[in-house]
Structure formats: C-alpha cells, structure tokens
Amino acid sequence: MPDQLIVCKSCGFSVDEEKRAGETGGAHLLKLLEVLYAQWPRNDELNLETTGCLCICEKPCAIAYVGTGKPTYLFADLDATTCAADLLTAAELYLDSKDGMVSAYTLPKELQSRRIARIPPAT
C-alpha cells in the first residue's frame, strides 16, 4: 500500500479564522496540494487522502504522513496558503526513508517547527 499524505479538510486558516470565502483552511490547502500533486513525478508512490479531523483542532492546519511499517508524523499550525510545496518536499523524504525516520533538520525550514508528533508503527 502506498504511503499517504492525509489532509484535514475541516481545519481553519487559524484558530480565529475558520473560513475565507466559504472555504476552510484545510480545503484551501487541499486545493493547492492537488494542483501540485497532479504534476508531481512521484504521485504514484504516495496517495493524497483527506479526513474530517486529526484531533489537533486547536493548531490548524493539520496533516499527517502515514506509511506501512513507518512512523506516522503529525504536522500542525501550518499556513494553508504557503505550505503545499514544502509538504511534497517532506513527502519525498518520507518516501526515500525505508524505515520512515526523517530528521527534523532535513525538512523544509518552514516545516521544522510544525512537526508535533511521531507515532511508531504497529508491530
């Protein structure tokens, strides 16, 4: 099963701003990601998925990387308007790591402080 990038569609742009022009921050991020993903050379290796909530609602926007036999990474407090390209760059690091371990310092600079959890894979 391919690795996944899961986007919370319900997150706001910030805690104080749920929607702009009727669109949530998560939906906006997903729209930007879908455009980049369609042209991304590795889109056959990673599925772009969505969910209604990642239970980190107080820090929108939130996404997760999930892979079989790999840790799950949760990112939050993302800027929905600027982070899409960085998320695909981070996805490449995740794909390239056999065990899913990705050092924070190798992430795009804007994402380094946004990674808030690493959950070990099931054994």
Q: Could you tell me the smallest distance in angstroms from the CB atom of residue 75 to ligand FES?
A: 11
- As to burial, measured by CB atoms within 10 angstroms (0-12 exposed, 13-18 middle, 19+ buried), residue 80 is buried
Name 41's bridge partners.
none
Q: Which is nearer to ligand FES, 56 or 83 (CB)?
A: 56
Q: Could you tell me the smallest distance in angstroms from the CB atom of residue 80 to ligand FES?
A: 11
The rounded distance, in Å, linking the Cα atoms of 24 and 11 is 6
Q: Could you tell me the smallest distance in angstroms from the CB atom of residue 96 to ligand FES?
A: 27
Choose the stretch contacting ligand FES; rule: CB under 6 A; options: 5-13, 33-41, 87-95, 115-123: 5-13
Choice from 5, 6, 7, 8 touching ligand FES (CB under 6 A): 8
Q: How far apart are the first and last CA of the chain?
A: 17
Site string for ligand FES, 10-29 (x = CB under 6 A): xx--------------x---
Q: Three-state SS for 91?
A: helix
The rounded distance, in Å, linking the Cα atoms of 116 and 20 is 26
CB atoms within 10 A of CB 8: 26
Site string for ligand FES, 39-68 (x = CB under 6 A): --------------xxxxx--x-x------
Residues within the interface to ligand FES (CB under 6 A): 8, 10-11, 26, 53-57, 60, 62
